[in-house]
């Protein structure tokens, strides 16, 4: 009997935390609580040259930085006004993940 009550409590906690995270995600944009400008300047600053030129080498730091950014956030940042104002071609920028040999999947 005690094990079943413990199981119900644990499952309730897991469900509660999951629901809270989903609700929190809805309040923010595709990059979480960070703006596209902040992602661009703090997370993707090493990716500027390869985002301008399809043939520019992609640095190891750029590829490592991409691992910490969701695909939805990348699409938003790469197509943002801030990114195009610095001379970046969104179509070239979207090739960076494949140039780093990363496979991105949507997070449910």
Mean pLDDT value across residues 23-39 = 74
Nearest 10 degrees: CA dihedral of 58, 49, 38, 26?
-60
Cβ neighbours of residue 40 closer than 8 Å, sequence gap 6 or more = 77, 80, 82, 83
- Answer with the residue of higher pLDDT: 8 or 83: 83
Question: The pTM is what?
Answer: 0.61
Looking at the predicted structure, is the pLDDT value of residue 99 above 80?
yes
Given pLDDT bands bounded at 50, 70 and 90, which one contains residue 106?
very low
Residue 29, classed as helix, strand or coil, is strand
Considering the domain 31-108 in this protein, what is its CATH number? 1.10.110.10
Looking at the predicted structure, is the pLDDT value of residue 13 above 80?
no
pLDDT tens-place string over residues 42-77: 778 888 889 889 998 889 899 988 888 888 888 888
């Amino acid at each position: 009997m005690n094990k079943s009550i413990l199981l119900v409590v644990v499952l309730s906690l897991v469900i509660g935390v999951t629901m809270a995270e989903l609700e929190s995600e809805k309040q923010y944009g595709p990059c979480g609580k960070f703006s596209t400008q902040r992602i661009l300047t703090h997370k993707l600053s090493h990716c500027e040259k390869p985002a301008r030129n399809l043939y520019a080498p992609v640095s190891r730091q750029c590829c490592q930085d991409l691992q910490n950014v969701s695909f939805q956030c990348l699409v938003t940042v790469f197509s943002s006004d801030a990114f195009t104002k610095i001379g970046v071609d969104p179509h070239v920028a979207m090739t960076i993940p494949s140039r780093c040999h990363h496979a991105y999947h949507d997070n449910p």
